Amino acid sequence: MAIEESTEAVATTDATDTVADTVETTAGAVTYPVAPGYQVRVRSGPGTNYPIVKELPYNSWVPIRCQRHGQKVSGPYGTSDIWDNIAPGQYVSDAYVKTGSDGFVTAPCG
């Protein structure tokens, strides 16, 4: 299985964090934090077989425009086949985004 992070985790999250602590609103868009200590690769589709579009910097927050099922990936927030669309043609594995849910937090991608 391919790994989505490019470096080892150097920080952990507090297990007592609540969903309210993890969601931020910026200019009307809800954003979610990427796992601390990871530079997550952004792919052109919902799987590690898709080309890398870019890499997110440490401590990034991402908007989730829609979500879809794809390749199953294990990360700091569990194992998931959910991929978050953060911009047109840009996906990150939900296993690296702290949404506070094991399911969809927004509409499925069309």
pTM metric for this prediction: 0.78
Rg (CA), the chain: 13
Decide which of 12 and 60 is more confident: 60
Give per-residue pLDDT as tens, 61-105. Answer: 999 999 999 999 999 999 999 999 999 999 999 999 999 999 999
Question: Distances in Å between the alpha carbon of 52 and those of 14, 19, 49, 60, 84?
Answer: 30, 29, 9, 17, 14
Give per-residue pLDDT as tens, 14-68. Answer: 433 444 444 555 556 789 999 999 999 999 999 999 999 999 999 999 999 999 9
Instruction: Return mean pLDDT, the chain.
Output: 83
